[in-house]
Amino acid sequence: MKATAIAPSNIAFTKYWGRKDEVLRLPANGSISMCLSNLFTTTTVEFSPDFQKDEINIDDKGRIIKHLDRIRRLANISLKARVATENNFPSGTGLSSSASGFAALTLAAVKAAGLNLSQRQLSILARQGSGSACRSIPSGFVEWLDGDTSETSYAKQIFPASYFKIADVVAVVSERKKEVPTSFGMQTTQSSPFMEIRLRRMKEKNKLVKKLIKERGFKEFGEFIEAEAMELHAIMLTQYPPLIYWTPGTLTIMKLVGVWRSEGLPVYFTINTGQNIHLICEQENVDKVKAKLKELEEVKEIIVNTPGEGARLHNASR
Amino acid sequence: MKATAIAPSNIAFTKYWGRKDEVLRLPANGSISMCLSNLFTTTTVEFSPDFQKDEINIDDKGRIIKHLDRIRRLANISLKARVATENNFPSGTGLSSSASGFAALTLAAVKAAGLNLSQRQLSILARQGSGSACRSIPSGFVEWLDGDTSETSYAKQIFPASYFKIADVVAVVSERKKEVPTSFGMQTTQSSPFMEIRLRRMKEKNKLVKKLIKERGFKEFGEFIEAEAMELHAIMLTQYPPLIYWTPGTLTIMKLVGVWRSEGLPVYFTINTGQNIHLICEQENVDKVKAKLKELEEVKEIIVNTPGEGARLHNASR
pLDDT in tens, A133-182: 999 999 999 999 999 999 999 999 999 999 999 999 999 999 999 989 99
Chain B CB contacts of A251 below 8 Å: 244, 246-248, 251
pTM: 0.96
Q: How many domains does chain A divide into? A: 1
Q: Checking phi first, is residue B140 left (phi over 0); if not, alpha (psi -120 to 50) or beta?
A: left
- Give, in degrees to the nearest 5, the angle at Cα B239 between B236 and B242: 75
Chain B residues closer than 8 Å to A246 by CB = 251
Distance between A187 CA and the closest CA of chain B, angstroms = 18
pLDDT of the residue at B59 = 86
Residue B318 pLDDT grade (very low, low, confident, very high; cuts 50, 70, 90): very low
Task: Report pLDDT for A44.
Answer: 98
Comparing alpha-carbon positions, the chain B residue that sits nearest to A241 is B227
Sort strands A55-56 and A80-87 into parallel, antiparallel or unpaired.
Answer: parallel
Q: How confident is the model at residue A316 (pLDDT cuts 50, 70, 90)?
A: low
Query: What are the two backbone dihedrals, phi and then psi, of residue B20, each rounded to the nearest 5 degrees?
Result: -90, -15
Rounded-to-integer distance, Cα A202 and Cα A32, Å: 11
| pLDDT single digits (tens) A92-116 | 898 999 999 999 999 999 999 999 9
In this predicted structure, the answer to whether residue A49 has a pLDDT above a threshold of 50 is yes
Instruction: Assess whether pLDDT exceeds 80 at residue B315.
Output: no
State how far the Cα of B194 lies from the Cα of A314, in Å rounded to an integer.
Answer: 46
| Rounded Cα gap, residues B94 and B75, in angstroms | 33
pLDDT band per the 50, 70, 90 thresholds, residue A119: very high
Closest B-chain CA to A259: B179
For chain A, the average pLDDT equals 96
Going by the DSSP 8-state scheme, the letter that residue B276 receives in this structure is: -
Best of B189, B194, B198 to substitute, by most chain A Cβ atoms within 10 angstroms, is: B194
> What is the domain extent for residue B184?
1-318
**What is the chain B residue with the closest CA to A235?**
B234
Q: How confident is the model at residue B232 (pLDDT cuts 50, 70, 90)?
A: very high
From the list B237, B251, B255, the residue facing A234 with the nearest CB is B237
Q: Say how many residues make up chain A.
A: 318
From residue A40, give the alpha-carbon distance in Å to each of A68, A291, B196. Answer: 20, 24, 41
User: What does the pLDDT read at residue B316?
Assistant: 56
**Eight-class DSSP state of B216:** T
Of A197, A226, A231, the CB nearest to B197: A197
Q: Which residue of B has its CA nearest to A193?
A: B197
Give B223's contacts (C-beta < 8 A, 6+ positions apart): B268
Quick: pLDDT tens for A50-61. 999 999 999 889
d(CA B236, CA B181): 13
State pLDDT tens for residues B140-151.
999 999 999 999
Does A197 contact B196 at a Cβ distance shorter than 8 Å? yes
For residue A242, is the peptide bond before it cis, meaning its omega torsion is within 30 degrees of 0?
Answer: no
DSSP B235-250: HHHTSSS------HHH
Task: Quick: pLDDT tens for A277-290.
Answer: 999 999 999 999 99
Which pLDDT band, with edges at 50, 70 and 90, does B297 fall under?
A: very high
Contact, A194 vs A238, CB < 8 A? yes
CA distance A293 to A295: 5
Strand partners, A11: A34
The pLDDT-based confidence of A317 (bands split at 50, 70, 90) is very low
Q: Place B139 in a pLDDT band, splitting at 50, 70 and 90.
A: very high
Average pLDDT, chain B: 96
Cβ distance of B242 and A231 shorter than 8 Å: no
Q: Band the pLDDT of A199: cuts 50, 70, 90.
A: very high
Judge whether residue A255 has pLDDT over 80: yes
- Smallest Cβ–Cβ distance between A246 and the set B197, B235, B251 belongs to B251
The CATH number that applies at residue A295 is: 3.30.230.10
Give B235→chain A minimum CA distance, Å: 7
Residues of B in contact with A201 (CB under 8 A): 193
| Amino acid letter for position B16 | Y
Written as one string, the DSSP assignment of A132-181 is GGGGGSS-SEEEE---SSGGG--EEEEE-TTSS-EEEEEEE---PPPSS-
